[in-house]
Amino acid sequence: MDKKGIYCLVLKNPACTVHVGALGDLSFRKGWHCYIGSALGSGGLKRLDRHFALFENQDKTPKWHIDYLLTDPRFTLEYAVYAKTKDRFECRFVKSLSGSGVDGFGCSDCSCLTHLLYRRRDPNDEIVSAFALLNLSSAKKTIISP
């Protein structure tokens, strides 16, 4: 999975408060959170492997906003949906999903209000549709249990 692209991590959580680096203590509603990220850097979509590994080994020190959720035992990384592309689509993807989110989360390098959106129910169909609207063919990655 060394290609470049865009991805959406889908996490499930109870109502809780998490300290997220410089953002401080943030309250999260019970439900599902979608984090939209870019994998256009040198590692490409291998970034997904890093996110999954961090979730599976939660004793690591968080570096990015999403790391704080991946290392919090109250959050479960359910799956990721991704698409291969060399174009910067994450901001358009966030806008196509819209809805409530966590202000300032994961968007320090763009003008979006957030890259972490909230849903009451599993957003899989909505995410797949958003990829299709951008003419991107999506795939799904899940944690493989032993």
Per-residue pLDDT reduced to its tens digit, 49-94: 999 999 988 778 888 999 999 999 999 999 999 999 999 999 999 9
DSSP state of 99: S
Q: Indicate the helix (H) or strand (E) that contains 134.
A: none
Distance separating alpha carbons of residues 58 and 54, to the nearest angstrom: 6
The answer to whether the Cα torsion of 69, 71, 76, 77 is positive or negative is positive
**pLDDT for residue 59:** 77
**pLDDT for residue 5:** 95
- Domain of residue 28 covers 5-141
Residue 146 located in a structural domain: no
Global pTM value: 0.93
The answer to whether the Cα torsion of 37, 40, 42, 46 is positive or negative is positive
**Number of domains the chain contains:** 1
Least confident of 26-40, 98-112, 123-137: 98-112
